[in-house]
Chains A and B, each alone.
Chain A
Amino acid sequence: MDDYMSLLLLSKGLLFEIALVIFIFGVLLRLFEIFSLGRKKDLSEPKANPTIIGIKTIFTRSIPSYEMMTKRGFLIVNGIIFHVGLFIVVFLLAPHITVIDRLIDLSWSPLSSQIINFATVVTIFSMIVILVHRFTHPVMKALTTSGDYVAWIVTFLPIISGYMAYNHLLLPYNLILALHILSVDLLLIVLPFSKLSHSFTFFMARYYSGTISGRKGVQL
């Protein structure tokens, strides 16, 4: 029986619930795992306020240096495009805001669907570019593990299925919407335990890094 509606209901019902539970559970677990390892109090006399520079570094590290732009400008620009695109698609599409509103009672104004649609195309393109780059750049190729591909796939699926759903491509809307939500469920489950954990640990990494150099009065 081709019961797409049941699949949709399952994907946004029980499966979403399970995925969300694993997501919240996983993020908390990972945070506990990290914080439990502690950090010795630094007894040396600080040259500047490490906390302030730590917090500043969370933001300043988003700005690439001239040197890195000349060496890896392609990757950096593509990376910025991808992350901005992803942010727009995930957080500024009206149906997504509705979901967030439903979950945590917070909402904001959406962008127009045409802009989102364009951002999606750009994001998809940047993801394909990064995949090719991963295959071809010698350092990235050497560093890449199966975990990097898992991260790529679980990120790509919701974007491509979302694009297909919005544009009513190939599959019946109920089915493609169900697949879209299913892929989101998968993303939620995988995120805390994969390379995608950088989405919530990079704040910490940048902060720690900032405090280490900040203690010496250096803002890197």
Chain B
Amino acid sequence: MSNATLEKGINSFVKMIDAPIASFFSSCVSCGMCADACLFYQETGDVKYTPIAKLEPLRRAWEQEYTLFGRLKKLLGLSKKITNEELKQHTELVYNSCTMCARCSMVCPVGNDIAYMIRKMREGMAAGGFAPAGLIGASNRAVEIGSPMGLTLHALSAQIKHAEKATGITINLDKSDVEYMVLLSSMELINFPEYLEAIAKIFKQAGKTWTISSTAFEATNSGIQIGSSDIARILVKRIVDSAEKLKVKTVISPECGHAFTAIRYEGPNLIGRKYNFEVKHILEVLDSFNEAGLLPTEGLEKEKLTFHDPCSLARKGGVIDEPRRLLKKVSDNFTEMTDHGARNWCCGGGGGASAIEEGEPLRLKAFKTKQKQIEETEATTLVTACANCRIVLEEGVEHYNMDMPIVGLTELLAEHLVDKPKQKLKKEAKQ
């Protein structure tokens, strides 16, 4: 067994630095606008949370290793070394107080993608042994048990049975040659079992075949959050292997932001090839059902709704119009927050932050921005499409006594689903 060392961490920095990062560091003019986009700086006013400042060790690694003057300074012993002490201090900055929400990347006037750099910096932090305990634990469970929350196949089977009983629909495990392979997040399974029922109902109504893999039901990826491509690869590989073994056409990411980006955008790069199947977020699938007339709903929500865009879904995933089209099917009383879609504010728990216990007070403090945005809408129900956001939002809502139910969009749609025979649906679609 080999331990993490500072050298491994620095080596990883050097390995991760690419042309985009070099161009980003070359372009920074220290204007500090990234701080104003960051929920952690916004609510604390503490300059140490300035996004670009969190990257200082990575910046020095770039300067010392990849620039002429940096090399000269290093040769003459004039450069400031990256130390254990410094990186230990950066754990809080790179993990606890950064959700990789990429709001900073969005506002940087020279176009620096700071979230991209944080993701790369975490590679070195993880390799150097500077990752927070919460994420190390999650990664361990994800690799060894199959789920970051330690959820086993046994627990899944119980949930499936429960859902089958509630809906009267049979849910098949490991059925090959079906159209869709549905992934779940353990958070969802434990906290929001209604999701599984909603999926079963909607897919039955749409007449689509689907399955869940017993070897790869977990969609979340702790490797991405902790910043270890090696661990992330193992987790993605499981899904890819199962999907290709079952010969499914499409793999569906559940209502979980980072799981979607992990499989959809990072996955192929982790395993080094393109997939033989498509990856879609559940909202993208539902939207396509809706477009094909396969998602008949009735009735409208009585409550005034607003929608929290999960960062990984909207700004970092490109799923922005789909939830709105779906929401308008079941509500005529839907209000947007001031900053929504690609400009949304993070719930405060993304990028693995919610798994870091000691980060909770800061997280709750940072939630205030979201709180304000929600309260301004005067909505009575908050809809979202990410189990992690949902839990963090629930914590925040509770902490600030907001008294507001939070629901997943998929479940909301399932509640309004009309049970119509397929023939009739097809006829309607033709008209």
Contact = CB atoms under 8 A, between A and B. Distances in A.
Given A44-B267, A143-B50, A205-B27, 4 more contacts: A142-B53, A143-B31, A208-B23, A218-B342
Contacts of A42: 269
Given A72-B36, A195-B29, A212-B116, A142 B47 contact: yes
B105 A220 contact: yes
Interface in A50-106: 57-58, 61-62, 64-65, 67-68, 71-72, 75-76, 79
Contacts of B267: 44
A220 B315 contact: yes
Contacts of A62: 109
A137 B50 CA distance: 13
A91 to B, nearest CB: 20
B339 A220 contact: no
B69 interface: yes
B67 interface: yes
Contacts of B21: 37
18 contacts: A34-B26, A36-B19, A48-B318, A58-B111, A61-B110, A65-B106, A138-B45, A142-B48, A143-B31, A143-B50, A148-B30, A201-B110, A204-B20, A205-B23, A205-B27, A208-B111, A213-B316, A220-B105
Interface string A137-181: 111111111001001000000000000000000000000000000
Contact of A72 (B33, B52, B66, B68): B33
Contact of A209 (B31, B111, B278, B339): B111
A215 to B, nearest CB: 7
A61 B268 CA distance: 29
Interface of A: 29-30, 33-40, 42-45, 47-48, 57-58, 61-62, 64-65, 67-68, 71-72, 75-76, 79, 137-145, 148, 151, 193, 195, 197-198, 201-202, 204-210, 212-213, 215-220
A45 B17 contact: no
B30 A212 contact: no
Contact of A34 (B23, B47, B69, B111): B23
List the 10 shortest-distance A-B pairs measured between CB atoms, nearest first.
A206-B111, A139-B32, A217-B318, A43-B268, A208-B20, A216-B318, A204-B23, A142-B47, A201-B26, A143-B30
Given A33-B66, A143-B32, A43 B269 contact: yes
Contacts of B105: 209, 212-213, 220
A139 to B, nearest CB: 3
Contact of B23 (A64, A138, A201): A201
B18 A38 contact: yes
Contacts of B67: 30, 33
B112 A34 contact: no
Central interface residue in A42, A142, A209, A212, by most chain B CB within 10 Å: A209
A202 B27 contact: yes
Given A44-B265, A65-B107, A143-B52, A198 B32 contact: no
B28 interface: yes
Given A206-B111, A209-B112, A215 B18 contact: no
A219 B105 CA distance: 12
B92 to A, nearest CB: 16
A202 B53 CA distance: 19
A31 to B, nearest CB: 9
A201 B113 CA distance: 14
A206 B261 CA distance: 21
Contacts of A67: 37, 107, 339, 343
A39 B27 contact: no
B26 A144 contact: no
Contacts of A43: 268-269, 272-274
Interface in B211-262: 261
